[in-house]
Amino acid sequence: MKNYLYSTSFEKEINIFIEDNISKKILNKYQDYYSSLMVFESNLRDVFKIKNQKFIRSGKDAKSLDKFLDLSDKINKDNISNLICFGGNEVLSLAGYTYNSVGFNKNLLIFIPTNLKTMIVPPLKGSFNLNMNFQEDFLQVDGYPDFLYIDPLLITKNPKLTDKKTFIYPFFLGYINESKYSDLTKNYVKRNNDLDFFDFINNGLSFSISLLSSYGYFPGDRIKSKIFRKNILFKNDIVEIDGFIFLFILFISYLNGFISIEKVEQFLSFLNYLGFNLTNLIKQVDVINNTKSTKDIIIEKGKCKQITITYQELKNHLEEFLIFLRGELF
């Protein structure tokens, strides 16, 4: 078992545990616990079979107002105090938003991520969101889980739980650290049915926690909201958006002289290998007119560097980036 203590800017400490089969221990502890509700992503029906549970379909619909009202009603009717949620980013966000916006006798909010993305880049940014009016993350509340339990065996035993494209997150983390983690990621993409995921996820999680502890957000998070409108984010796969943003971050790093263009091209090659449809996103991206200067994180020779980008700089960078992409893709 590995244990991390993540301290937030709100003076809250979150215990993070990573251990094979820890999900079953949590189930055994809380399934008969008074005033506890287990929330599962619907694709876990055949993985976990317990009583006193609620299944939520994954995807954009999980973060809808209807699902929020339904879960809120269940919490109030059953006098729930502990909310234990198994799922990916959307279902965890629904649980976090509900827990932090509904008035009830709160005790514990526990997350058990069930796919590669949320295991390596966990929901520790201090907010939870719902979609509304066909706009991504239209509603927001502040909050953190109390405990985060990560079970690598969930992926080893159920590889279908993880979309191949989500390997872009550990691959990008390897780029940041100039480590062999990116090369290792390629091996896991090809052979994710017969490899031990414990060390792989633990290393990626360690990188992410360090980033979030230092900056409070992940590289590209700020720029993403400046070049993709909420309705565009809603219409597209957020993993595809993130892959596009990571590539843009690397391109800005190249423009600043911190990495070579070959590194950018190698990253683009991996995106293509994973099946990202960047040509679709090229048509939908644009710098939002009311954008003021924004801070984000770029890469400088194996470490992160926070920079401030003006509206005009961002517009110029994006124009050059799109020229580069069109030259590479068409």
Domain boundaries, the chain: 2-158, 219-329
Please state, in angstroms and as integers, the Cα–Cα distance from residue 123 to each residue in 13, 49, 242, 291, 302, following that order. 14, 25, 15, 26, 24
What is the spatial distance between Cα 226 and Cα 228, in angstroms, rounded to a whole number? 6
Q: Work out the number of other CB atoms within 10 angstroms of the CB of residue 33.
A: 15
The pLDDT value recorded for residue 192 is 64
pTM: 0.94
Eight-state DSSP code of residue 290:
T
202's tokens: 């633990």
Give Rg (Cα) of the chain: 20
The pLDDT value recorded for residue 193 is 63
126, 51, 61, 49: which is closest to 88 by C-alpha? 61
Please state, in angstroms and as integers, the Cα–Cα distance from residue 54 to each residue in 14, 29, 71, 188, 191, following that order. 25, 17, 8, 32, 33
Residue 61 and residue 98 in contact, taking contact as beta carbons nearer than 8 Å: no
pLDDT digits (tens, 9 = 90+) for 162-175: 889 999 999 999 99
Tens digit of pLDDT at every position of the chain (330 positions): 899 988 877 778 999 999 999 999 998 888 878 899 999 998 888 787 766 578 898 889 999 999 999 999 999 999 999 999 999 999 999 999 999 999 888 999 999 999 999 999 999 999 999 999 999 999 999 999 999 999 999 988 887 788 899 999 999 999 988 778 999 999 999 876 667 899 999 999 999 999 999 998 999 999 999 999 999 999 999 999 999 999 999 999 999 999 999 999 999 999 999 999 999 999 999 998 777 889 999 998 778 999 999 999 999 999 999 999 999 887
The rounded Cα 223 to chain-centroid distance in angstroms is: 16
| 103-127 per-residue burial string, b: 16 or more CB within 10 A, e: under 16 | eeeeeebbbbbbbbbbbbbbbbbee
The pLDDT value recorded for residue 46 is 77
Class of the 2-158 domain?
alpha beta
